[in-house]
Amino acid sequence: MEGRTIVITSGKGGVGKTTATASIGAALALEGNRVVVIDMDIGLRNLDVVLGLENRIVFNIVDLAYQRCKVKQAAIRDRRIENFFLIPASQSDNKDVLTTVSVERVSKLLKKEFDFIIIDSPAGIERGFENSIAAADEAIVVCTPDVSSIRDADRVIGLLYARSVTPKIIVNRIVPQMVANGDMLSHEDILDVLSVELVGLVPMDEQVVVSTNTGMPLVMQNTSPAGMAFRRIAKRLNGETDIPVKVPECKTGMWNMISKKFSFKK
């Protein structure tokens, strides 16, 4: 059976594409799939750092695209999670070294060996983005609950539809307390504008910073709400579509519980 190529993109930078790629990839591998994550942000590679694999890079995606190495050489195996691999970006090239044709060829090659190929797209909608979505079967758009992120996500969704890729969406960095107070857009507001299928809601989580800095995959920490959210997203992508999307809720303190009970608050 051929693998699925999923591109994680957003348009805007800094919304959590790389974290989402690392977490979803790791979670899918924990589910028992053979997974490879590819960093397409050529010139500004990050995914290797987030996964704590930067010391082991020998070959990268550009070498693979130019057939200077084999898949086995380019794919770095994660020692903590079984069947989880990374193909890093090149730090010395720029995004123009790859073409859509070469990316499609690499993707075809990888599909034979892996169940999931998760591509971390760079920010923007230029060459790097074009290359990332060239071989994608599915796309996941990451956005945060702010207007600029939604605007960019909307643009990217339009571009994906134009290339007949049906996008799904993850809303990242939700602060339930702010949503409850009306200071942050709720996921309903976002879906109202974007109107695409929702695959998951990820709450704001300080653990993400810790995990990014230590290179420890988020989904391996059972205490992280964001990690748990990504595990649910991975399960949904893996075919368990009946898992309901869990809406992040604010921690209910004593006073909140009382006021909720007597409906002092809306």
Chosen residue from 89, 106, 136, 159 binding other proteins by CB under 8 A: 159
Tell me: does residue 195 bind other proteins (CB under 8 A).
yes
Tell me: does residue 152 bind other proteins (CB under 8 A).
yes
Determine the Cα–Cα distance for residues 90 and 81; give it in Å rounded to an integer. 24
Report the nearest approach of other proteins to the CB of residue 186 (Å). 17
| Residue number, 67 or 195, with CB nearest to other proteins | 195
Chosen residue from 56, 127, 151, 246 binding other proteins by CB under 8 A: 151
Q: Name 118's bridge partners.
A: 6, 37
| Residue number, 66 or 161, with CB nearest to other proteins | 161
Give the gyration radius of the chain's Cα atoms. 19
Give the contacts of 56 (CB within 8 A, at least 6 positions apart). 76
Determine the Cα–Cα distance for residues 93 and 129; give it in Å rounded to an integer. 16
Report the nearest approach of other proteins to the CB of residue 192 (Å). 8
Chosen residue from 158, 197, 240, 243 binding other proteins by CB under 8 A: 158
| Residue number, 52 or 167, with CB nearest to other proteins | 167
Instruction: Tell me, residue by residue from 131 to 150, as one string, x for binding to other proteins by CB under 8 A and - for no binding.
Output: ----------------x---
Give the contacts of 257 (CB within 8 A, at least 6 positions apart). none
| Residue 9 near residue 129, CB atoms below 8 Å | yes
Tell me: does residue 48 bind other proteins (CB under 8 A).
no
Give the contacts of 173 (CB within 8 A, at least 6 positions apart). 15, 16, 144, 145, 202, 203, 204
| Residue number, 147 or 243, with CB nearest to other proteins | 147
| Residue 28 near residue 170, CB atoms below 8 Å | no
The token duo for 145 is 């609950």
Tell me: does residue 157 bind other proteins (CB under 8 A).
yes
Tell me: does residue 108 bind other proteins (CB under 8 A).
no
| Residue 39 near residue 7, CB atoms below 8 Å | no
| Residue 140 near residue 121, CB atoms below 8 Å | no
Chosen residue from 178, 193, 216, 220 binding other proteins by CB under 8 A: 193
Q: How many residues bind other proteins (CB under 8 A)?
A: 11
Report the nearest approach of other proteins to the CB of residue 128 (Å). 17
Report the nearest approach of other proteins to the CB of residue 154 (Å). 4
3-state secondary structure of 138: strand
Q: Which residues bind other proteins (CB under 8 A)?
A: 147, 151-152, 154-155, 157-159, 161, 193, 195
